[in-house]
Structure 1
Amino acid sequence: MKFLWSALIFAALHCNIIVFGQETYNSENDNCCEEYCYSKDPDKSQTRQYATKTAYDVAKGSDSSVNYKIAGCIQEKVWIMIRHGARWPTVKDIQEMRNLEDLRVEVIRNYEERKTQPSTGALCMDDKFSIKTWKLSKNLSTDSFAEKLAPQGYQDMKLIARNYRRFLPEIFEPIDERNFDFRYTPTQRTQESFKAFAEGILQRAPDVGPQPEVDPVLNPYAGCDRWEEQNKNDKSNNASEYNIFINSEIMKDTVRRISRRLGFKFALSRAQIDTVWDMCRFEQAWHPNRNSPWCAAFTPEHVTVLEYAEDLRNYYKVGYGNELNSRIACSAVQDMVRHLNNSNEPHIAAYFTHSANIQLLLTALGIAKDRDALRANNFHDMKNRNWKSSELAPFASNFAAIKYSCEGGNEKRVMFVLNQKTVDLDWCKVGLCNWGDALVTLDRFTKADCSQYYCSENSSTNIQSSFLVLILTLIIYFINGY
C-alpha cells in the first residue's frame, strides 16, 4: 500500500497537472492562498468555525452571571438540554486518522526533499515543524475509545454545571439531590457527561436508573423511520444542496488550495482533506489551549468553505431545510413546557443528548432561522447567516429555558439561553419573554399528539388535508350564502 502511495506521489509530482477526480488543472499558477501562519496567529478566529466539532471554550458566551439577574424577578425553574462534551472519533474516523502518519511524512518530503511548496501561501516554519513532530494520540491506536467522552469533555461538563449553579443561585441553592431530574441517552458519552455535570454540583452522580433505548425527548429520530429515510435519500441524492456544493468549483478549488499548501501538485481526495479537517478539530477540542498541527493546513478562508459544507448538510438533516425537522422535537418542547409549568416537580431538569437533537430543538423553536434558505449557489451571500452549527451545536452545547416569577408573583417570564448567550426571538423583549406568550407560541406542540405530529407518515398530509377541507368548507359556505 505504501509503495502504491509513493508511486502515485512520484507520478503526480513529475507531471505538470493537478488531477481532481476526472478533472485536470493546469498548475502553472504556483500560488496556494494568502500568506498565513497558524502558529503565530494570536486570534485564530477560524477555530470558532469548526461546525459541530467546535470546542465549547471558544463557542460559549459570557461567564458573567449578570445577564441572569432580572430586576423585580426571582429565578424559579430551569430546563436544560445539553449535548455531550468533546468525544473521541468513530471507529471509521479513527482508522482513517491512522493514515495521517503517512501523509505527514509526504508533506515534510514535499517541503524538505521535493521542494514543491507553493510560492505563496506555504506553511510557515513553525507550522511545518509542528506537523513534522506530530504524533497520533495513543488512544487512537485502538478502537476501544471510539465515540467515548474525552477527558476535556468531562471537564467541560463539570464547568458548565458550576456555571449554572453560579448563574441561577435561587434555583440551585440550597443543593438537594431531590431538586434534580436527570436523563441521558443510552450511550457512554452522554452517561459520562451526566456524571460529570452531577459531580460538578452534587459531588457525585445519583442513581437515575436505566435509560430507554428510544426516548422521544432526547433522541426522537431514533424511532422515526421517516426521518431516517429522508436523510438517507438526501445523502444519496446527487441533486441535494450538500452534494451540489461539495462538487462545486468553490469546493474543488478549496481542496486544490489546501493540497497545494501542503506541498502537493495534485489535489488530495475529499476523504483525505476530511480526515485532516477532523483531526484538526478533534485535537483542538481535546486541547483548547494548544495548537493542533493539522489546523495549519487551512487558512481562515478554507475553514469558511468547509464550515459552510457542514452547515448545508445539517440545515437539511436537522434544520429548516426539511419541513419534518421543525416538528420532530415535539416531545422535547412538550416536556419543557410541562416542567416549567408544574410547580410540584424538581426545579432543575438536565437532559444529556446529541448535536442532532440540539439542532432539531432549535429548529422547532424557530431559533437561528434565516430569511433565505442555505443553498449550494448562495455561499457568498450567506456568510453572515444565523444557521451556523459552530455557534448552535458545538461540543457541550446547552440550551436552557429559565422561568422567572416577577412583580410579586403576578407575572411569569421565561428567558432562553444558548451556550451562555441570550436568544433573541421575535415575540420577546430583549430575550425575556412573557410566559403567556410562550404558551401561545408553542401551542402547536403542547396540544399535539406528538406520536402523530412529528413522525407519522400522514402528519404532513393531514395538515394539508385539514387546510383543504377548511378552504372547501368556506367555498361551499359562500356559494350557499349567495
Structure 2
Amino acid sequence: MFAHLVLVFTSVCCVLGDRSCYWNAECPYQFYSSKTPYDTVRGDIRDYPNLPNCEAVSVWALNRHGNRNPGDGVVDNMKAIVRLKDEIIASYEVGTSQLCAQDIEDLRRWSWNETIEESPAYLTGTGYEELYDIGKRLREKYPQLLSGSSDSYYFRTTKEQRTITSSIAYVHGLTDNTNLNLSIDGPWDRDDLIRPYENCEKYQVETKEGPELENQLAAYYKTEEFTTVQNNVQQRLGINTKLSSDDIYTLYEICRFYRSWTPTLQSPWCSVFTDDDLLVLEYEDDVWHYYRNGYGSWVNERLGGPVIKDLYDNFEAVVQGGGKKIISYFTHDTMLQMAFSALGLYKDDFVIQGARRVPDRKWKTSFIASFSVNLIAVLNRCNEAEGQSYRVQFFINEKETELCPFEGCKWDEFQSKFSKYTSSLEFCSPDYVNPVQPLTDDAGIHRLGTITMLTSLLIIYLCNVNG
C-alpha cells in the first residue's frame, strides 16, 4: 500500500512540476520497471522496532541480484541506436529539435561505456553495493544471529556471474566486522529450488515460448498510448530517421540502464521522454513479466511453491530445535515474481492486458522486480502471557507486507497459511492438465461474465421477493 502511495505522490508531483527540461526537473520520474535501482523502492529494516518480549531467531531471504549490465542482445540494440546521437544534436543546431540546450550539451559529453560489451549481464559496482548494504543492515538489525558455527548459516546462488557476485557482496556485508567465515553453496547444474523454471518443460513450451506473451505485447505496441509516445519522441527529437517501436524501447533501455549507474540517477538519453511517456513505457515490462513470470500463467504460480515450502520447512525446523539462523538465496526477478504469485501478492481483480493499461494496478514491476528486490521472513521467539510462542514477520524490499501484520503471524496462523506449499514439480510434464481452469483465457472470461450475470439476476430476484 505504501509503495502505491509513493507512486501516486510521485506521479502527481511530476505531472504538476516543470518538466520542459530534463536536466533540471524538480521531480523526475523514478520508476523504470525491472531496471529500477533498489534504493528508489526500498525501505530500511532497521527502522522497524523489535517486537516486544520477542527475539529474532531465524531469518530467511530470497534475493534478486543487484544492478547489472545489459545482456548481449540489448547491448547490440543500444549500440545501433546510439548512432543517432550526432543526428539528434544536428537537429537541435538547425532548430528542429524540442530538447533543451543543457540536455543537448549533456548528450554531447556522453560517451559509450565499453565495459558493457566486455561483461554483458555482469553485476556492476552499484549492484555490489546494493547487496552489501542489505547484508549490512541485516547484521545491524539482528546482531544476535551473527554468532555460532558456520553450520547455522546457508547461502545458495544460481550459476550466473551476477548472482554469484551478489551472494558474495551480501555475505560480505552480513559478516563484516565479525569473526564469521561463511561459504556459499552452488552454483548447481540443475536447481529446482531457486530456478525451477529452467527445467520445467511445461513452462518453457507453454509459458515462455507460448503465443500469449507475444500477442499481448503486439497489442501493447498498437495502443493509442504507445503510438502517441512514438510520435511525440519523433517530433521531440526532430530527426529524419523514422523511429520504429523497437527503436523507442531501445532508447528507453539506454535511458534506464545508464541513469542507474550515476550518482544523480540521470542520463541525457532520458531527456527524449516526458514523465507521461515513461509511465506508458513502464507498462510494457509489467505486461511482459505478468505473462512470463506472474499471474498470466498458472504454471508460474506453481513454480513459486518449492521455495516457499523451503521457508516453511526451515522455520518449522527451528521451532523443533534445529534449522538455521540465516538462510539466503540469490536468484533472478523471475523467481521473485513466481514466489510473489504463489503467495497471492500484487494480484489485481482483473487480467493485465497489453491493449489496456490500468494505472491503478497492483502488478507494478518497478516495485516487485527492481534490482535487488527481496523477500525477507523473520521468525521471532516470544515470551507471552500463555508462555513461549513464535511469530513470523515478512518484509519485501525491507518494508512490511500484507502477508502478516507487523506484530507477526502467530505460529498457528503461519502454519495454516504456509503448510500447503509443496516442492512437487509434477505439473512440469508436458502431458499434465491443470485441474483448475484459470479465468485468464477467453473461455474463462466468458464464464466470469456468466457468473456475474447470474449473480445480478439472483440479487434482483431476491430484492423483488423481499420488497
TM-score interval for Structure 1 and Structure 2 normalised by the shorter chain: 0.7 to 0.9
CA contact (8 A) 1:416 1:431 kept: no
Q: What does the per-residue CA deviation read over 1:22-71, in whole Å, with 9 as the maximum and x for residues that have no partner?
A: xxxxxxxxxxxx95222112332x22x2011111111112x362325112
Separation in 1 of the partners of 2:241 and 2:227? 12
Identity %: 27
Deviation for aligned residue 1:82: 0.6
Match of 2:53 in 1: 72
Q: Aligned match of 2:129 in 143, 152, 155? A: 155
Q: Is 1:108–2:89 an aligned residue pair?
A: yes
Separation in 2 of the partners of 1:287 and 1:175? 39
Q: Is 1:317–2:292 an aligned residue pair?
A: yes
Q: Aligned match of 1:254 in 229, 240, 251? A: 229
Deviation for aligned residue 1:375: 1.7
Structure 1 SS opposite 2:303: coil
- Cα separation, partners in 2 of 1:241 and 1:138, compared to 1, 3 Å: closer
Deviation for aligned residue 1:429: 3.2
- Give unpaired runs (5+ residues) of structure 1: 1-33, 465-482
Q: Aligned match of 2:161 in 175, 188, 191? A: 188
- Give unpaired runs (5+ residues) of structure 2: 1-17, 438-467
- Cα separation, partners in 2 of 1:320 and 1:98, compared to 1, 3 Å: same
Deviation for aligned residue 1:80: 0.3
- Cα separation, partners in 2 of 1:236 and 1:264, compared to 1, 3 Å: farther
Q: Aligned match of 1:167 in 113, 123, 141? A: 141
* Partner amino acid, structure 2, of 1:111: Y
CA contact (8 A) 1:198 1:205 kept: no
Separation in 1 of the partners of 2:435 and 2:410? 31
Structure 1 segment 6-45 matched on structure 2, within 5 A: 36-44=20-28
Q: Aligned match of 1:146 in 120, 126, 136? A: 120
Structure 1 stretches of 4+ with a deviation exceeding 6 A read: none
Separation in 1 of the partners of 2:35 and 2:148? 33
- Cα separation, partners in 2 of 1:106 and 1:189, compared to 1, 3 Å: same
Larger deviation, residues 130-139 vs 407-416? 407-416
Separation in 2 of the partners of 1:134 and 1:182? 40
Q: Aligned match of 2:418 in 417, 427, 442? A: 442
Deviation for aligned residue 1:209: 4.9
Separation in 1 of the partners of 2:303 and 2:49? 29
Match of 2:267 in 1: 292
Separation in 2 of the partners of 1:299 and 1:205? 49
Match of 1:396 in 2: 372
Match of 2:359 in 1: 383
Separation in 2 of the partners of 1:431 and 1:96? 48
Match of 2:331 in 1: 353
CA contact (8 A) 1:68 1:168 kept: no
Separation in 2 of the partners of 1:294 and 1:462? 48
- After TM superposition, the score normalised by the length of structure 1 is 0.80
Match of 2:345 in 1: 367
Deviation for aligned residue 1:458: 5.0
- Cα separation, partners in 2 of 1:102 and 1:449, compared to 1, 3 Å: closer
Structure 1 segment 218-367 matched on structure 2, within 5 A: 218-234=194-210, 240-264=215-239, 267-343=242-318, 344-367=322-345
Separation in 1 of the partners of 2:405 and 2:266? 40
Q: How many residues align?
A: 412
Structure 2 SS opposite 1:99: helix
* Partner amino acid, structure 1, of 2:96: T
- After TM superposition, the score normalised by the length of structure 2 is 0.83
Separation in 1 of the partners of 2:32 and 2:264? 16
Separation in 1 of the partners of 2:284 and 2:364? 11
Separation in 1 of the partners of 2:361 and 2:65? 25
Deviation for aligned residue 1:353: 0.2
Separation in 2 of the partners of 1:208 and 1:158? 15
Deviation for aligned residue 1:461: 3.5
Separation in 2 of the partners of 1:182 and 1:224? 24
- Cα separation, partners in 2 of 1:429 and 1:197, compared to 1, 3 Å: closer
Deviation for aligned residue 1:224: 0.6
Separation in 2 of the partners of 1:36 and 1:431? 46
CA contact (8 A) 1:256 1:267 kept: no
Structure 2 SS opposite 1:294: helix
CA contact (8 A) 1:422 1:431 kept: no
Deviation for aligned residue 1:356: 0.4
CA RMSD of aligned residues (A): 2.2
Larger deviation, residues 249-258 vs 92-101? 92-101
Q: Is 1:124–2:124 an aligned residue pair?
A: no
* Partner amino acid, structure 2, of 1:451: L
Structure 2 SS opposite 1:148: coil
Q: Is 1:55–2:24 an aligned residue pair?
A: no
CA contact (8 A) 1:51 1:390 kept: yes
Deviation for aligned residue 1:228: 1.2
Separation in 1 of the partners of 2:287 and 2:407? 27
- Cα separation, partners in 2 of 1:68 and 1:192, compared to 1, 3 Å: farther
CA contact (8 A) 1:199 1:205 kept: no
Deviation for aligned residue 1:399: 0.8
Structure 1 SS opposite 2:99: coil
- Cα separation, partners in 2 of 1:157 and 1:176, compared to 1, 3 Å: farther
- Cα separation, partners in 2 of 1:462 and 1:360, compared to 1, 3 Å: same
Deviation for aligned residue 1:237: 6.4
* Partner amino acid, structure 2, of 1:148: Y
Structure 1 SS opposite 2:425: helix
Separation in 2 of the partners of 1:288 and 1:213? 37
CA contact (8 A) 2:138 2:174 kept: no
- Cα separation, partners in 2 of 1:386 and 1:167, compared to 1, 3 Å: farther
Separation in 2 of the partners of 1:252 and 1:455? 38
Q: What does the per-residue CA deviation read over 1:169-194, in whole Å, with 9 as the maximum and x for residues that have no partner?
A: 33x33375443201000111111111
- Cα separation, partners in 2 of 1:173 and 1:233, compared to 1, 3 Å: closer
Larger deviation, residues 181-190 vs 242-251? 242-251
- Cα separation, partners in 2 of 1:332 and 1:64, compared to 1, 3 Å: closer
- Cα separation, partners in 2 of 1:284 and 1:68, compared to 1, 3 Å: farther
- Cα separation, partners in 2 of 1:150 and 1:224, compared to 1, 3 Å: same
CA contact (8 A) 2:286 2:364 kept: yes
CA contact (8 A) 2:51 2:407 kept: no
Separation in 1 of the partners of 2:185 and 2:290? 35
Larger deviation, residues 348-357 vs 335-344? 335-344
